């Protein structure tokens, strides 16, 4: 029986571990936290999951919350400048073609970890230091690092040819809340985004957390602006109160919904910034030892486009397929590099799309297309549903000439 070690018990690590366990591999999972610590810890993300990633979970039998997690039917997008002489709100709504859900990773990962152990899986608890990796590699046929947190990320050097940014591009704050009230509109059940170009974005979505259904508020602020106000790392109550006051000014239609909101629990806030980066997919430890990186250990996105958990699910599914196809052949350096490159063929589109949406000043053709979403329902629908598979953007959004040709066809047929 082939022995495989997976370092990291996040979306990718647990999904891969459970898949290999189901295929009768000898899997050791190394986690820095127990299921209880995960469940009772701080929130870690917004984990918006689109149809293709949810289908991967469903195919693996890991869709444990289908009867509980709310389904978002579409998107409401708003853009305006409250400082303008005559503020004008641009707005569109568009439906999703497939299901979109968010399940708090504290709930999901703790349940998956308990499931892995209940099925006889071996878990070693505690943080793993880089100097421990040679011993882990020596005891296993393959070692996969599936965590981008902590010191292990230094094993995989930054790929300067694929990385655009060398630091965070936004100040990020996340709050899980109850008591959010609807306005009696269809968009109450939508993902709702409000962008103020000079300030940043406020995004509200429905989710399932450890205590039941909730709403998540994600604030993506431009540095030095009003949304960049979290350096003191306030408590969830103070942070949410501060965020709601910001909504009063920059997203008043959301302020109406959040006036009575309260944090879901004492760990319902997250602050920080994410540096989008691509690292080399394979780490050489010396003396012929190699480690394969997966998901955010090697490809990291800003949460603005909601791709992190989706990318992790695709990575786990792709790596599982590659391992199963390998059979009894060695997991050598060449195979590891090919496995990562196969994954990168999709992840590159995700990364390019997220980088494009972060870019300031905004590319001219992107500005024209996003402007068209507020005028043409076809463009809005196409843009909103591209999030499920950002590779679909390459034929129109990512290329200036194709973008202009698409707009020309659209306006010519109006």
Asked whether residue 200 falls in the same domain as residue 239, the answer is yes
* pLDDT on residue 297: 95
Asked whether residue 40 falls in the same domain as residue 149, the answer is yes
Asked whether residue 222 falls in the same domain as residue 322, the answer is no
Is position 139 within any domain?
yes
Is position 54 within any domain?
yes
* pLDDT on residue 399: 93
Asked whether residue 11 falls in the same domain as residue 142, the answer is yes
Is position 127 within any domain?
yes
Q: Of 272, 294, 323, which residue constitutes the final position of a domain?
A: 272
Asked whether residue 135 falls in the same domain as residue 40, the answer is yes
Asked whether residue 97 falls in the same domain as residue 131, the answer is no
Asked whether residue 292 falls in the same domain as residue 322, the answer is yes
Tokens of 254: 């959301």
Is position 88 within any domain?
yes
Asked whether residue 197 falls in the same domain as residue 261, the answer is yes
Is position 252 within any domain?
yes
* pLDDT on residue 200: 97
- The contacts of residue 368 (CB under 8 Å, 6+ apart) are 403, 404, 407
Asked whether residue 48 falls in the same domain as residue 133, the answer is yes
Q: Of 272, 306, 338, which residue constitutes the final position of a domain?
A: 272
Which residues of the chain carry a pLDDT beneath 70? Answer: 413-414
Give the CATH number for residue 334: 3.50.50.60
Phi-psi region of 386 (alpha: psi -120 to 50; beta: other; left: phi over 0): alpha
Q: Of 272, 304, 324, which residue constitutes the final position of a domain?
A: 272
Give pLDDT tens digits for 188-215.
999 999 999 999 999 999 999 999 999 9
DSSP notation for 319-388: HHHHHHHHTTS---HHHHHHHHHHHHHHHHHHHHHHHHHH-SSPPHHHHHHHHHHTT-HHHHHHHHHHTT
Number of domains in the chain: 3
Closest C-alpha to 277, from 393, 167, 144: 167
Give pLDDT tens digits for 266-306.
999 999 999 999 999 999 999 999 999 999 999 999 999 99
Q: What is residue 237's three-state secondary structure?
A: helix
Asked whether residue 50 falls in the same domain as residue 138, the answer is yes
* pLDDT on residue 240: 98
Whether omega for the bond prior to residue 142 falls within 30 degrees of 0, making it cis, is no
Is position 69 within any domain?
no
* pLDDT on residue 178: 98
* pLDDT on residue 154: 86
Asked whether residue 283 falls in the same domain as residue 297, the answer is yes
Q: How many Å apart are CA 5 and CA 294, to the nearest integer?
A: 13
Is position 68 within any domain?
no
Asked whether residue 190 falls in the same domain as residue 301, the answer is no
Query: Residue 368 sits in which domain range?
Result: 362-412
What global pTM score does this model have?
A: 0.96
Is position 96 within any domain?
yes
Tokens of 193: 């985004």
* pLDDT on residue 413: 53
Give the CATH number for residue 206: 3.30.9.40
């Amino acid at each position: 029986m082939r022995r495989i070690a997976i370092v990291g018990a996040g979306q990718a690590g647990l999904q891969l571990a459970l898949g290999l366990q189901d295929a009768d591999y000898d899997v050791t999972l190394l986690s820095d936290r127990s299921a209880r610590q995960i469940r009772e810890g701080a929130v870690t993300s917004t984990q918006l999951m689109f149809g293709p990633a949810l289908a991967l979970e469903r195919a693996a039998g890991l869709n444990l919350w289908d009867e509980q997690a709310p389904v978002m039917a579409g998107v409401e997008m708003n853009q305006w400048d409250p400082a303008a002489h005559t503020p004008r709100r641009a707005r569109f709504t568009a439906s999703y073609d497939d299901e979109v859900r968010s399940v708090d990773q504290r709930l999901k990962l703790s349940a998956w970890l308990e499931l892995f152990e209940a099925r006889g899986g071996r878990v070693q608890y505690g943080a793993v230091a880089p100097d421990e990796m040679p011993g882990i590699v020596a005891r296993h046929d393959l070692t996969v690092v599936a965590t981008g947190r902590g010191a292990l990320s230094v094993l995989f050097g930054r790929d300067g040819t694929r990385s655009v940014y060398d630091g965070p591009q936004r100040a990020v704050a996340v709050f899980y809340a109850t008591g959010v009230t609807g306005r009696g509109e269809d968009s109450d059940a939508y993902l709702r985004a409000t962008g103020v170009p000079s300030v940043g974005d406020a995004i509200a979505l429905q989710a399932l957390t450890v205590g039941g259904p909730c709403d998540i508020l994600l604030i993506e602020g431009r540095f030095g602006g009003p949304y960049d106000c979290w350096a003191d790392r306030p408590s969830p109550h103070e942070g949410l109160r501060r965020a709601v006051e910001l909504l009063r000014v920059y997203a008043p239609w959301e302020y109406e919904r959040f006036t009575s909101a309260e944090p879901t629990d004492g760990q319902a806030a997250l602050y920080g910034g994410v540096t989008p980066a691509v690292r080399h997919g394979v780490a050489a430890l010396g003396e012929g030892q190699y480690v394969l990186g997966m998901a955010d250990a090697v490809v990291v996105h800003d949460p603005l486009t909601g791709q992190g958990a989706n990318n992790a699910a695709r990575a786990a599914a792709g790596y599982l397929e590659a391992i199963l196809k390998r059979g009894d052949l060695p997991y050598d350096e060449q195979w590891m590099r090919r496995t990562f490159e196969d994954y990168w063929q999709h992840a590159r589109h995700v990364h390019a799309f997220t980088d494009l949406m972060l870019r300031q000043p905004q590319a001219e053709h992107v500005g024209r297309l996003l402007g068209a979403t507020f005028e043409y329902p076809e463009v809005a629908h196409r843009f909103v549903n591209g999030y499920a598979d950002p590779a679909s953007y390459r034929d129109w959004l990512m290329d200036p000439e194709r973008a202009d040709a698409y707009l020309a066809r659209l306006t010519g047929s109006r």
